[in-house]
Structure 1
């Protein structure tokens, strides 16, 4: 994820930025922990407070306007949807606000039966009407939600979002009484319970939204501590910009008696070296990422705190197809085939990532993605000639933008060198941008090439391929292809998994032939976790339901820093 431009550094979704915020946050922690012998995490373990590195400063704490993994990590603590994430297996489902659910015969309609003891953090009863209100809000054209397309599974949702239908009652969601929600879809969707786990499907508290603005105001005072109302296992108690976001147990949560942590402190540490040092100094239970040059050292030390896990995500570059020189498909092909993915994962990222020869990563869902873009310098040079360039020296200057991160910079420099070595292209600039600026630049398609990452929102190839449909809010390349759109639309009407996967594979072949994206690698998650953290299991989507995470004094053996 979450998910979404991914702001994570290679691990992988998918993150981070200036030093002022992390230093401020860590200073506050040191102040707290400096008055005794115990480290901050040791005291936090006793208090059952989980302290997590979380990348960049969150953009917002509103599930309808965020799109990054770091923001989603916090929202997953504050809110709960109809279906919750399972603590050990991405392919399984946990009841959330809905106690149970059932489809019709062809999976085009799903009925959710809500529990009657679900409440908001202010004590208000949560009902099916809250979900209808929330889906209306995120789909409202004036909201301009960056992830509204996630709800296009609903009948007429896309048409309403684009202003083609004005009456929301025609969208395929309705409440039958207070505790029954019916979702009518535009086609068979057997995996719909996986879809509604995503943050975009989370409910928001209408009275609170409208107390501080109207239904479509994206940034208002409702997101501040003291104003924020949510329905998850935790509530927002403190948010200091560039320092921390603190959440604590929600006494009104329907399953409050079974929530293990008393709270979570999310630390926006965007510098991976600062974060790793904070972990070594006893200031964090968990690092968001780990610097690639330290991974080998932790491995050599056989440090049990090091984790490397499979992660459903792709690291790639976007190409602006409406701006020279990347408007030329053969030029994009030349760039793609001149990238040596194996060298990048072996010598640059060094975190167990897999070279990406396509876009959709292998997964447990059974989809076999096409692998067609492998390093081939001769082929790359031929495409460069077909693009109208005799050699790289006559290619005009262009820029690769990245969100500020040493990891992203290392990859960009390596690719810059590959294009110079194999294509003779010498005028490639690398531009660092602060995360929020970077997001806006990509959203505005105001670039030539941009770093990108995408983490699956659910375990199905559709989550990787639907974003390239014409006009999707996460496309951000200007690319449009009628054949691709047709294949994706047809896949949404097929209930047989094998037939649907075959159609999706055809669509991905079109995507890789047109190359609006340059595949680089498929993610792994490489991070550090303190032995006091219990019930933290490897998950393909890395969406951990925090209420199951426990804290207890663990085995400290083998825990010395390399």
Structure 2
């Protein structure tokens, strides 16, 4: 294996532009620069990884099983009808020493649901009585929403319907507390790097934009005795080759798939990176799907026949076998396999002849007269590789031209959110292990819809699934929702289901095996001593292969 070197790119990063700054115990490749650290305003994986390290909700997740564990809430009770959750908060403090109370949760949830906040993930709290009406402006009195604060250490939540995954939602970063005293003082500016106050295992010590964040162990965190790392660097460089080189040279200790160039994935899986220095590889199942969003309000994509033609002219296997090459699963569905009790829907298959017939029915025989489309993707060698295959396939099978447009992460997200695109590279990682997390996002007005798709029938089915207590019937309703998305309406074009892939220093401990690939930085530490061969690669479980 001939490994790449990029000294011209690498050296300025490693020396910080000749500026000396504090290092962490180890460095993690985060990749993309976080859009924000405000849990009400973000939706991306990079942001979530940082926020889980610096903020903690009522509950948190077991790093392997993802079962809910006590967080700020040391205990809770659920009413017999499954509608009322009573959380009992422990003695906890913000990083500035201010006591954390139930009112911090109440005000944080109100802020997420306040219409002017524009929280794209606000719908995750719609299970709370009155929450949807409040966010949509149909209810303006917060006291009528199903949250109560009888005292500083009790938070009571009343739901519209029994929600079996509600404790997964309280573990998710959107449901994190925010420091009410800082929000009152600074408004949205509370989350800027020079203002931010947090309550998690770490606090933000430094942020050098487009380079790295440094988080340090918070001595005021209630469980600080079980946080072994004193400081962690999170590297925010978008160049995949540079990130790969950082790991190979020992400047970084962990990367996921986004730090491994496409043309080296096979070599990494074969263990050849360890010829450069001791490195371990871990691959496993991942509840995530890569797909293309269609702006259904933008002609000619407002014609479902065109969207179906685009979907049926994609050979997903070409992408997974020749571009991504890490064992991703070609798919025509949105919900990944492996969720207990759910049978996946079969979407539209690769059928170039059928695709051409649909395009002709839409008024574009052989692609004649079809307007040139623009495909938007964020900066990444991997995303460009997928885009180029799609571009070639649509040209070959439909005779249409597609222009590729590359944008930086924050610009790309803004344009996608505001429907300033025609086709857009997209992905969704499950927020919890339930098909609902891949389906409720397409409801009318959902903050993560970002396609313009709207269907009253679809909305009613998602609501019905939420009210259904029979797990078999609920799964059937959710399958009908998925069928609408991937067979009937096609606001998205599925490409593949992810697998997780980690390349890391074997001294780095606490790396979790879970189907959401959640990084729980609280458990990470660098083991400088002992026999590496005798240590587990994570928390006592062997890696998937």
Q: CA deviation at 1:183?
A: 1.1
Q: Work out which of the residue numbers 211, 232, 236 in structure 2 matches 1:264.
A: 232
Q: How large is the Cα RMSD of the aligned pairs? A: 2.1
**Separation (CA, whole Å) in 2 of partners of 1:222 and 1:131:** 16
- Number of the residue aligned with 2:398: 423
Q: Work out which of the residue numbers 238, 252, 270 in structure 2 matches 1:300.
A: 270
1:77 maps onto 2:53 in alignment: yes
**Separation (CA, whole Å) in 2 of partners of 1:99 and 1:491:** 31
Q: CA deviation at 1:293?
A: 0.9
TM-score, reference length from structure 2: 0.91
Q: Work out which of the residue numbers 213, 216, 238 in structure 2 matches 1:245.
A: 213
CA deviation map 1:369-422 (0-9, x unaligned): 202222121221221122221112331111101111111111011011111111
Q: CA deviation at 1:32?
A: 6.3
Identify if the C-alpha distance between structure 1 residues 347 and 21 changes in structure 2 by more than 3 Å, giving closer, same or farther. closer
- Number of the residue aligned with 1:60: 36
Q: Are 2:36 and 2:191, in contact at CA under 8 Å, matched by a contact in 1?
A: no
CA deviation map 1:442-466 (0-9, x unaligned): 1110111001011111111111100
Identify if the C-alpha distance between structure 1 residues 450 and 346 changes in structure 2 by more than 3 Å, giving closer, same or farther. same
1:514 maps onto 2:523 in alignment: no
**Separation (CA, whole Å) in 1 of partners of 2:224 and 2:197:** 16
Q: Are 1:120 and 1:230, in contact at CA under 8 Å, matched by a contact in 2?
A: yes
**Separation (CA, whole Å) in 2 of partners of 1:221 and 1:358:** 40
Q: CA deviation at 1:240?
A: 1.3
CA deviation map 1:163-199 (0-9, x unaligned): 1111011111111212221111121101111111111
Identify if the C-alpha distance between structure 1 residues 32 and 88 changes in structure 2 by more than 3 Å, giving closer, same or farther. farther
SS at match of 2:254: coil
Q: CA deviation at 1:136?
A: 0.9
1:369 maps onto 2:339 in alignment: no
Q: Work out which of the residue numbers 445, 466, 470 in structure 1 matches 2:444.
A: 470
- Number of the residue aligned with 2:132: 158
Q: CA deviation at 1:259?
A: 0.9
Q: CA deviation at 1:23?
A: 6.8
- Number of the residue aligned with 2:371: 396
Q: CA deviation at 1:24?
A: 5.0
Q: CA deviation at 1:125?
A: 1.6
Q: Are 1:78 and 1:232, in contact at CA under 8 Å, matched by a contact in 2?
A: yes
Identify if the C-alpha distance between structure 1 residues 30 and 105 changes in structure 2 by more than 3 Å, giving closer, same or farther. farther
CA deviation map 1:240-289 (0-9, x unaligned): 11121111011111111111111211110111111001111110011142
Q: Are 1:345 and 1:521, in contact at CA under 8 Å, matched by a contact in 2?
A: yes
Q: CA deviation at 1:28?
A: 2.3
Higher RCO (Cα < 8 Å, 6 or more apart): 1
Q: Are 1:341 and 1:374, in contact at CA under 8 Å, matched by a contact in 2?
A: no
- Number of the residue aligned with 1:27: 15
Identify if the C-alpha distance between structure 1 residues 272 and 191 changes in structure 2 by more than 3 Å, giving closer, same or farther. same
Unaligned runs of 5+ in 1: 1-18, 34-39, 558-562
**Separation (CA, whole Å) in 1 of partners of 2:32 and 2:211:** 10
SS at match of 1:394: coil
**Separation (CA, whole Å) in 2 of partners of 1:336 and 1:345:** 16
TM-score, reference length from structure 1: 0.88
SS at match of 2:476: helix
Q: Work out which of the residue numbers 27, 44, 59 in structure 2 matches 1:51.
A: 27
- Number of the residue aligned with 2:543: none
Matches within 5 A, 1:112-511: 112-115=87-90, 117-213=91-187, 217=188, 220=189, 222-225=191-194, 227-288=195-256, 289=258, 290-301=260-271, 303=274, 305-425=280-400, 427-511=401-485
Unaligned runs of 5+ in 2: 1-6, 534-545
- Number of the residue aligned with 2:536: none
Q: Are 2:10 and 2:246, in contact at CA under 8 Å, matched by a contact in 1?
A: no
**Separation (CA, whole Å) in 2 of partners of 1:106 and 1:378:** 53
Q: Are 2:320 and 2:327, in contact at CA under 8 Å, matched by a contact in 1?
A: yes
Q: Are 1:22 and 1:242, in contact at CA under 8 Å, matched by a contact in 2?
A: no
Q: CA deviation at 1:482?
A: 1.7
Q: CA deviation at 1:550?
A: 2.3
Matches within 5 A, 1:84-95: 84-90=60-66, 92-95=67-70
SS at match of 2:164: coil
**Separation (CA, whole Å) in 1 of partners of 2:173 and 2:271:** 38
CA deviation map 1:49-100 (0-9, x unaligned): 231110111111111111111011111110000111212212x122101112
Q: CA deviation at 1:158?
A: 1.1
1:532 maps onto 2:500 in alignment: no
Q: Are 1:25 and 1:244, in contact at CA under 8 Å, matched by a contact in 2?
A: no
SS at match of 2:39: coil
Q: Are 1:106 and 1:495, in contact at CA under 8 Å, matched by a contact in 2?
A: no
SS at match of 2:16: helix
